[in-house]
Homo-oligomer: A and B are copies of this chain.
Amino acid sequence: MRQIKHPTIEQVELTDIMYALADPTRLEIVARLAKAGRKMTCGEFDLNRPKSSMSHHFKILRSAGLVETVIDGTEHMNSLRIEEIERKYPGVLQSVLKATTAIDFDIFRQPPR
Contact = CB atoms under 8 A, between A and B. Distances in A.
A89 interface: yes
B92 A96 contact: yes
A96 to B, nearest CB: 6
A91 interface: yes
Contacts of A14: 27, 96, 99-100, 103
A92 B94 CA distance: 8
Secondary structure dominating the interface of A: helix
A91 to B, nearest CB: 3
A91 B15 CA distance: 17
Interface stretch (A1-9, A18-26, A41-49, A73-81): A18-26
A98 B90 contact: yes
A22 B27 contact: no
A52 interface: no
Given A14-B27, A18-B18, A91-B98, 5 more contacts: A18-B96, A90-B98, A91-B91, A91-B94, A92-B99
